[in-house]
Amino acid sequence: MQKRIVILFLAVLIVASAISTVAQTEEKFNFYARGPYRSEVPRPQSILRYDVGDHHTTYAQMEKVIDEIARAASDRVRIFDIGLTPEYRMMRLVAISSPENILRLEEIKSKVSQLTDPRKTSAAQAQAIARDTPAIAWMAYTIHGNESSSFEAMMQVVYQLAASVEPATIDILKNTVVLIVTGENPDGHERFATWYNSVAIGDADRNAIEHREPWSIFGRLNHYRFNLNRDTLAVTQAETRNMMQAFMEWNPQVAVDHHGQPSQYFFPPVSLPINPNLPQPMYNKWLEIYGRANAAAFDSNKWDYYVRDVFDAFYPGYWDMYPSLNGAIGMTYETDGGGFKGLRWTRDDGTIVTFRSSIAKHFVASMTTLEQTAANREARLRDYYEFRSRAMSDAAKSPLKRVVILPQGDKYKAAELIEILSWMRIEVKVATAPFTSKTAHDYLEKNSPPRTKTFPAGSYVIDLNQPQRILIKAILEQDTPQDKAFVDDNIARFKRNQMRGKNQQREEYGFYDITAWSLPLAFGVESYWTEDTTEINGSLVTKEAISASKQGSVSGRAKIAYVIPYTTDTTGAFVARLLQKGFRVAVSTRQLNAGGKNWPAGTFVIRISRNPDSIHETVAQYAKDLGVDVTAVDSGFADDGDTGVGGESVLSLRSPRIAVIADEGIDPESYGSIWWTFDRFGVKFTPITIAAARSGALKNFNVLIIPDGNPGRYFSAFGSSGINILKDWASSGGTIITARGASVFAALKDVGLTSSRLVGSEDDEQKSNVSSKSDSKEEKIIPAPSPLPKPAESTELKSDRSDIVFPLLPPIASPSASAYKIPEPLPGAFMRATVDRTSYLNYGVEANELPVLLASGYFFRISKEGGNPLIFDPDPKHPLTVSGFVWEGNTEPLLAGTAYLIDEPTGNGHVVLFAEDPFFRGLTRSTTRQFLNALIFNGVL
Ligand SMILES: [Zn+2]
């Protein structure tokens, strides 16, 4: 007993002294113990003028350090510019190797690249290359710009490799070419570093402002507020493209992505689920080799760390997974300090983690990884070749042999998808004649039997019998199964959660990220996979062919009108752009006859008489930019039907003047995905705060977009007066578009921007109809869950990746069976939505069904007073689930009959609700037309 008190007393003393002095638990790490060093190579500190971990280095300062080291160590170091960021910072790739290797970099690159094609390189040739070629190690730092330790560690690694003559370092240089990405997210890091340096006093108190990054800073994300560590799937951002291009040029055998968020250092092995496309036991074997080496180094430093736990290897859009799916051993390393923890941070036991110590851990892990790569060079190169040669010999065993993508529904979007595949060195053919498969499966049907299908000429064909097969399968297969043990464990948690009382905390699930991502589904392009590879007439798609498919055309200089059928998403953007420039555009609400042809309702008409002369060149320019095909019409006479270009059913559109809410508490990625979409389409918008919206700013706009955010926060930030302003503004002709959490806000009874209600909420009158097992009166279900963790408040998130995907667990802990009436949040699955083709929001949509990603428990009752352009229509033969994990007995029964997209007419205006983010990560694009239609038809239809 007494002993315990003494220990407690000591603990208090330690905590007290930790607060007033430096960290008690870790010695000051010596970064210069691995010499001797060449004196002509400058240490980073001699350029920066501060010691490691005393201050945050900006990008320009870092560039100076790297340049000076490279100049002094030109025998070992080469710098390559790999492309600009959106804010005009140059991304750099630093190659460091022995002087002999540096002189033959091109030769090394070419030899290693021969290992990527077993059709051209025999096993014997591969053995020879493996014997005498260095391995290539990709070391990338600071993809999350506010995970700042990695940025500083990188400079120390560069110095060590450039300056040291220590035998172990020399051995690394001989056996590897080290490629260092000096900053994967320069723009985000710069926001963070500049802000942090300006407010930091080095206070370890968790409440100090230096640990609370403002919304507008949040350096984790890039310029467009994209999480770059999710972007190797859709490759939307410049940073991703720059890195991917460099990666595919060098073909690394190991790749480390350096982060820094959790409470302890993490390195692999990883936890379940592991993407089943990764070849085993090869993948696990190498994670074990690197993991044990790191563990030995950390143990000898007496440093804490963990393996497995929350970091899985399932979603293929991370910068550890992309390398792994290309034959490298890709790994995420997470250090425990820096970033939001700043220079000093108090741990849960009162000890302090310092910026310097967390930099040291990355430095040691980086060097250990390079030593292991050097030591295992030949085996690693052999396995790298084996990765593709085995993939190809396994191709015959897998039912998925070919993917067919049809461009007819949107030639531009299909070309964008093919372009992404081409960046990944995936070979795509285009069929020049129709062909038939007897074993075709529609991507919109899960587990459907094979059937016969004839594909038209122009179809894109991706055969899996090619070197990139593993990557192709991982990103294109319709559904990727998770390890059974993992699934069973989560279902058991679900069942236990059903039994919990409302005041008992629910168990968390193990899902790290979305469980469905298949690119054809994400993009919403009509696609099939086949079990056969019928011979086709066709040729490999070239860069030129892709850009030709993205080109538009104008059939001539119109005398009377230009007619534009709505055949691509970009057509909507084309119209929005013209309207915003002040040109007059109209839409035909009935079948139109013009130029001797019938055009469907939803076709756009630009009448020459209503526009200035500059319309001709503007139409030509925008058509070219956005890949839109325009037909010039020289007579207003309709040969047939009731509607010609001058008809009563051709309605003038009004220019969309768009405001987007951008404010604290809003999901920055949701806002960013809208920003990025508008930018790439050339559509203008104005970001405004909620306070501005409440105090008169809306008068300048006719469209207001409210991105995903916490519904409760929206409720309190708008307040009843703000809600009334929104209603009045919509009634007088404005269009409000809401996404996800903002749609939940709109559907609150006390807000009433729609007659829809959230399924399972206390406002939901229908919820008692779903199950009769219990009386629902006892439940207190508030449809406004606890606030989103503000980025800056994300103190010691359990995992680095636990960002915005899965944050809004319903606030309910309901008694037993009644819980089945409440949708369990989905980690992210594609569901089949049915299209109401009569709604103007579906103008231009030819498909009767679309895949939509659901990544929440937000299901919306159909609007009783408005329209429901996309609903979940159950069909016993055709499940709603298309791909990904769903909760059996919960998801489908509760989703059936609800709406994904709602159009609520409000006075002269509309409220348009999307159940989810329309442009999640720039990856989901299946409802782009619906989103654009809400803008361009605002106030008219
Ligand atoms: Zn990170």
For the segment 620-638, the average pLDDT, to the nearest whole number, is 95
CA-based torsion, 719, 723, 725, 726: positive or negative:
positive
Amino acid at 202: G
Ligand 1 center to 282 CA (angstroms): 26
Ligand 1 center to 221 CA (angstroms): 10
The contacts found for 18-24 with CB under 8 angstroms, 24 or more apart, are 18/204, 18/346, 18/350, 18/351, 18/352, 19/204, 19/205, 19/346, 19/350, 19/352, 22/344, 22/352, 22/354, 23/344, 23/351, 23/352, 23/353, 23/354, 23/357, 24/351, 24/352
Ligand 1 center to 88 CA (angstroms): 23
Distance of alpha carbon 48 from alpha carbon 622, whole angstroms: 48
Ligand 1 center to 478 CA (angstroms): 28
Ligand 1 center to 801 CA (angstroms): 7
Percent of the chain with pLDDT over 90: 87
Find, among 302, 303, 230, 314, the residue nearest to 270 by Cα. Answer: 314
Burial class (CB in 10 A: 0-12, 13-18, 19+), 142: buried
pLDDT for residue 24 = 55
Ligand 1 center to 374 CA (angstroms): 26
For residue range 665-715, list pLDDT tens digits in order.
Answer: 899 999 999 999 999 999 999 999 999 999 999 999 999 999 999 999 999
For the segment 868-890, the average pLDDT, to the nearest whole number, is 94
Higher pLDDT, 864 or 768: 864
pLDDT for residue 364 = 98
In this prediction, residue 502 has a pLDDT band, given cuts at 50, 70 and 90, of: confident
Distance of alpha carbon 57 from alpha carbon 53, whole angstroms: 9
The C-alpha R_g of the chain, in whole angstroms, comes to 29
pLDDT for residue 501 = 80
For residue range 102-133, list pLDDT tens digits in order.
Answer: 999 999 999 999 999 999 999 999 999 999 99
In this prediction, residue 768 has a pLDDT band, given cuts at 50, 70 and 90, of: low
pLDDT at 330 over 50: yes
Distance of alpha carbon 336 from alpha carbon 152, whole angstroms: 14
Ligand 1 center to 141 CA (angstroms): 10
Distance of alpha carbon 580 from alpha carbon 34, whole angstroms: 61
Question: Could you give phi then psi for residue 21, rounded to 5 degrees?
Answer: -125, -170
Question: How many other CB atoms are found less than 10 A from the CB of residue 28?
Answer: 14
pLDDT at 433 over 70: yes
For residue range 823-839, list pLDDT tens digits in order.
Answer: 999 999 999 999 999 99
Ligand 1 center to 205 CA (angstroms): 22
pLDDT for residue 478 = 97
Ligand 1 center to 558 CA (angstroms): 54
Amino acid at 888: E
pLDDT for residue 13 = 41
Q: Which residues contact 653 (CB under 8 A, 6 or more apart)?
A: 575, 579, 585, 586, 587, 936, 937, 940
Find, among 472, 458, 448, the residue nearest to 406 by Cα. Answer: 458
Ligand 1 center to 338 CA (angstroms): 12
pLDDT for residue 10 = 43
For the segment 317-337, the average pLDDT, to the nearest whole number, is 98
β-sheet bridge partners, residue 17: none
Q: Tokens 């983690």 belong to which residue?
A: 353
Alpha helices in 275-354 (DSSP H): 282-300, 321-324
Distance of alpha carbon 395 from alpha carbon 472, whole angstroms: 12
Q: Which residues contact 505 (CB under 8 A, 6 or more apart)?
A: 813
Percent of the chain with pLDDT over 70: 91
pLDDT for residue 682 = 97
pLDDT for residue 25 = 54
In this prediction, residue 640 has a pLDDT band, given cuts at 50, 70 and 90, of: confident
Which range among 518-522, 623-627, 798-802 shows the weakest confidence by mean pLDDT? Answer: 798-802
pLDDT for residue 203 = 97
Ligand 1 center to 342 CA (angstroms): 15
In this prediction, residue 70 has a pLDDT band, given cuts at 50, 70 and 90, of: very high
pLDDT for residue 765 = 85
Ligand 1 center to 335 CA (angstroms): 9
Token readout for 235 is: 């490759």
Ligand 1 center to 332 CA (angstroms): 9
Distance of alpha carbon 254 from alpha carbon 267, whole angstroms: 14
pLDDT for residue 535 = 94
In this prediction, residue 12 has a pLDDT band, given cuts at 50, 70 and 90, of: very low
Ligand 1 center to 547 CA (angstroms): 34
DSSP 743-768: HHHHHSTTT-SSS--BTTSTT-TTHH
pLDDT for residue 792 = 31
pLDDT for residue 445 = 93
8 A C-beta contact, residue 379 and residue 289? no
Find, among 173, 184, 205, 175, the residue nearest to 75 by Cα. Answer: 173
Ligand 1 center to 923 CA (angstroms): 20
Amino acid at 735: T
Ligand 1 center to 260 CA (angstroms): 6
pLDDT for residue 820 = 62
pLDDT for residue 150 = 98
Ligand 1 center to 362 CA (angstroms): 13
Token readout for 766 is: 């229908």
8 A C-beta contact, residue 162 and residue 372? no
Ligand 1 center to 147 CA (angstroms): 6
pLDDT at 773 over 60: no
pLDDT at 20 over 70: no
pLDDT at 559 over 70: yes
Distance of alpha carbon 160 from alpha carbon 347, whole angstroms: 30
Ligand 1 center to 550 CA (angstroms): 35
Mean pLDDT, the chain, whole residue set: 92
Ligand 1 center to 333 CA (angstroms): 9
For residue range 261-313, list pLDDT tens digits in order.
Answer: 999 999 999 999 999 999 999 999 999 999 999 999 999 999 999 999 999 99
Count of CA atoms in the C-beta half-sphere (13 A) of 621: 9
